[in-house]
Copies of this chain bind each other. A is one copy, B any other.
Amino acid sequence: MKPAFHSKSDKEVALLEELKSDHVRVSAGADVILPEQSNAELYTVFSGWLFRYKELNDGRRQILNFALPGDLIGLQAALFEKSYYGVAALTDAELCVIPRRKLWRLYERMPEVAYDVTWLGAQAQSIVDENLLTVGRRNAAERIVALVASLYKRMDLLGGVRDGVMDFPLTQQHLADALGLSLVHTNKTLARLRTSGLFTVADGRLTVANPRGVGRFARYFEAPIAPRPIV
């Protein structure tokens, strides 16, 4: 887990601990931020998976991105009057809370951490950028591979991959909602991909047979991810 993170001075850690007044546990399926919610707090993911989403009046839902340990959640929601998206827990998860009213103090007194907050925000942004490219321009098979490859790479950096196997808590419905596809077509495309032998998704686990092969297909393993700050 360590190589992916920067280190911080003792003083910063102490101040951070003071700001993070709360730890919260949420269980799988729980809402963390509701769409349209006011005064949402800022969170840091300590463990577990969550996802950010938007929906239309008629129920169509688009998952914007998935959050893994170390990710920031709710930056926009904390900065604006109300949230323009929802956040739900995919698995049981632990979150650190940074109260929104203390955010300004953080900028005043801990510029380095403030910088890291911006950095993490930009990092999340670039994931959404990539998802928009995926949904806008890739076909169904490419979309699935791109998402799987992205999650695999991120999880690998967190030390969550062993022998090409990792936990994969998404249902096919989540995949469909993240990729702008219907559930049925997601299922059929997944079945077709299964025969390709690149990877398998079953029983909440993802098994990648040949990481380099997946990478070539999705042109996705190429760009390494930079070390990131912890907040």
Q: Which residues of chain A have a CB within 8 Å of any CB of chain B?
A: 52, 54, 56-57, 60-62, 64, 75-76, 79-81, 84-85, 104, 107-108, 111-112, 114-115, 117-119, 121-126, 128-133, 135-138, 179-180, 219, 223, 226
Contact = CB atoms under 8 A, between A and B. Distances in A.
Given A114-B115, A118-B117, A125-B124, A132 B79 contact: no
Copies in the complex: 2
Nearest to A134: B62
A122 B125 CA distance: 9
B81 A133 contact: no
A129 B64 contact: yes
Given A119-B79, A135-B135, A54 B130 contact: yes
A64 B111 contact: no
A46 to B, nearest CB: 22
A162 to B, nearest CB: 29
Contacts of A135: 132, 135-136, 180
A60 B139 CA distance: 11
Q: Is chain A's binding surface mostly helix, strand, loop or mixed?
A: helix
A115 B117 CA distance: 10
Contacts of A64: 129, 132-133
Nearest to A124: B125
Given A80-B226, A117-B118, A125 B126 contact: no
A217 to B, nearest CB: 12
Contact of A132 (B114, B119, B128): B128
A231 to B, nearest CB: 12
Nearest to A142: B56
A229 to B, nearest CB: 11
A56 B219 contact: yes
Contacts of A60: 137-138
10 contacts: A56-B219, A75-B122, A79-B122, A80-B122, A80-B226, A84-B223, A107-B115, A107-B118, A118-B118, A125-B125
Given A81-B226, A121-B125, A180-B136, A104 B115 contact: yes
